Amino acid sequence: MRYVKEVSLTTILGLGLAPAALAQPRPLEDPIPEAIQKGDLVVGVEPFVRFPRTIESNDESASTNPAYARLQYLVPIPDGSGRLVVNDLRGVLYITDESGRAPTEFMDMRTMDIGFDDSMFPNESGLVSVTFHPQFAEEGAPGYGKLYAAYSAGSATGVADYLDDDAESHESVILEFTATDPAADEFSGTSREVFRIGQFAPNHNIGTLAFNPNAAPGSADFGMLYVCLGDGGAAHDPRDFGQSLEVPQAAIIRIDPLGGEAGRGYGIPSDNPFVGQAGMAPEIWASGLRHPQHFSWDTDGKMFIGDIGQNQIEEINLGRAGANYGWRLREGTFSSGYAVGRGPGPVYPRQESDADLVDPIAQYDHDDGAAVGGGYVYRGSAIPALQGKFVFAEFPRGRLLAIDADNLDPDGLNEITEVRLVFDGQERDLVDVAGFPNTYGPGNRVDLRVGIDSDGELYLVTKGDGWVYKLVAP
C-alpha cells in the first residue's frame, strides 16, 4: 500500500520517536490499488423508450440545465399487466410497458396541492421514487389501489414526524396514493401523507421505497415498506446521524404503511430490531449508512444495498436487520478520519475498536468512480450469461458493474467486474452514448440507474438524453 507521506519505519526509529508515535495511523493514498476491469460479461443495449424533456424549476441557474429529464427509477406495476412506471425527479411519473409503448403521464406532482418543491440544488430533490403495494391489483385487499411516492416538500407545508425543527432545506415526504381504478393509465384518486422528516441540507435525502417482493402474504414482512434515508447531507455527516439511532436518518427504515397509529401515518412493525429500546427510533431496520439511495432483493431474499461514499469508497452491502454499516467511522472496510481522531479526509487502515460494524461485500475507490447506484440480481431469461449476477451502476460515469451473486462470499469482499456494452454491434462506453455536461465538474456524466420489469429484465435509466435503454442478448 502507498501512503500520502512515504515515511519508513527506519526513518521514524532513526528519529528516536516514542513508541506511541509508531501507533499513529497513516492515511492511505490509494486504498484499493486494483482497478475494476472489463470482464467477459457482454450485453447488448437497445433504445427502449424516450421521455419528454423537462425543465428545471429553478431555471434561472443555467448550470442546472444539462439534464434532459431527471429519470431515476423504472419499476413494474405488480398486476401482471406488463406496465412500467418511470419517475422524472422534476415531478412527473410516466407510464409505459414492456413492449415499449410511448410513455404518457401517470401523474404530475407539480400540479398537486402537496407542497412539492424540487428547487434545491444539487438536484437530489423532487419526485424521488415510487413503489406499488403488493396488493395493488387485489380488489378488496387493504393494499388495493395503493402506491407510495417519496418527494421533497417545503418545510412549512407540514409537520414532520422527525426533525421538524431541523429542516432548513426542505422535508422528505412519503405520500400514499389510492387509485380509484388501478387499471387506469392516468391516476385519479386520493392521497394521504404517511411519513415526513426534516432535511437540514439539500442532499442525501430519501431514496428507494420498496416492498420485499419475496414476502409471502400473511408473513411478517408482507406489506412492510422499506425506505432508505441518507445522512441528511452537506458532507461528512455533520449531525453524526450515522452512528445515532435516535432519528431515522443514515438508515433503512421499515414501516407498516397501512397500520397508522394515533398521531402517526404509519405503524411500527413489532419485529423491527430496535422496537422498545430507549432512545432508539423504532422505524430503523439498519443503520450506519451514508446515502443508501438504492436497494433491492434477490429472489432468495438477500438484500443488496448500494451506499454512496464520501471522499474515498463506494460500497455494496448485504442487508441485515439491526446491522450498523459503519458510516461515519468507516468508508468501506477502512477507518475514516473520524475513527482515528483526524476528521474529514483520507481513509486509514482499519482500527481495532469498531469490530461490531458490518463490512461491505464489495467496494471500489474513487479511481473507479464517484458514486454507486443500486441494481438488481439478474433473474431474467433474455441474457443467460447475466444469470445470477448482481448488476449495478457506478452512476456518474455510467459504468455498469457486476458481482457474482450466485457464488457470493457474504463475509468477504467480492470481485467487481465491468460489463461490456454493445450498441448496434459496437462495444461502446455509455458515457459516449448518453453523457451530458457535468454540472458538478469537468467532463460528462451519465447518471446511470438500473431499472427492472416484472420478468426480471433490466434497463439502463439515464438523465442525459431522456432515453431508457434495455439490456438484451449481445
User: In sequence order, which residues have a C-beta less than 8 Å from that of residue 8 and are 6 or more positions away?
Assistant: none
Q: What is the 3-state secondary structure (H, E, C) of 2-28?
A: CECCCCCHHHHHHCCCCHHHHCCCCCE
Q: How far apart are CA 138 and CA 183, in angstroms?
A: 11
Q: Cβ closer to Ca ion: 160 or 460? A: 160
Shortest distance (Å) from residue 67 CB to Ca ion = 19
Closest among 257, 255, 285 to 273, alpha carbons compared: 285
Q: How far apart are CA 21 and CA 7, in angstroms?
A: 12
Q: Cβ closer to Ca ion: 329 or 393? A: 329
Q: Cβ closer to Ca ion: 64 or 199? A: 199
Asked if the peptide bond before residue 122 counts as cis, ω within 30 degrees of 0, the response is: yes
Q: Cβ closer to Ca ion: 2 or 80? A: 2
Site track for Ca ion across 188-217, x = CB under 5 A:
-----------x-x--xx------------
Binding region for Ca ion (CB under 5 A) out of 8-16, 177-185, 233-241, 369-377 = 233-241
Q: Cβ closer to Ca ion: 326 or 451? A: 326
Residue environment code for 15-50, b if the CB has 16+ CB neighbours within 10 A, otherwise e = eeeeeeeeeebebbeebbeeebeeeebbbbbeebbe
Shortest distance (Å) from residue 55 CB to Ca ion = 23
Shortest distance (Å) from residue 328 CB to Ca ion = 9
Shortest distance (Å) from residue 306 CB to Ca ion = 11
Rg (CA), the chain: 22
Helix (H, G, I), strand (E, B) or coil at 422: strand
Q: How far is CA 6 from CA 14, 17, 28, 311, 344, in A?
A: 15, 16, 11, 21, 21
Site for Ca ion in 310-349 (CB under 5 A): 325-326
Site for Ca ion in 17-36 (CB under 5 A): 30, 32
Q: Cβ closer to Ca ion: 31 or 182? A: 31
- Binding flag, residue 233, Ca ion (CB under 5 A): yes
Site track for Ca ion across 141-180, x = CB under 5 A:
--------------x----x---x----------------
Q: How far is CA 203 from CA 152, 235, 245, 329, in A?
A: 11, 9, 20, 20
Q: How far is CA 228 from CA 234, 291, 312, 354, in A?
A: 17, 8, 21, 24
Q: Cβ closer to Ca ion: 78 or 337? A: 337
Shortest distance (Å) from residue 191 CB to Ca ion = 18
Size of interface with Ca ion, in residues (CB under 5 A) = 15
Q: How far apart are CA 176 and CA 146, in angstroms?
A: 7
Closest residue to Ca ion, Cβ-based? 233
C-beta separation of 373 from 8 below 8 A: no
- Binding flag, residue 446, Ca ion (CB under 5 A): no
Site for Ca ion in 365-384 (CB under 5 A): 365, 367
- Binding flag, residue 364, Ca ion (CB under 5 A): no
Q: Cβ closer to Ca ion: 87 or 205? A: 205
Residues that bind Ca ion (CB under 5 A): 30, 32, 155, 160, 164, 199, 201, 204-205, 232-233, 325-326, 365, 367
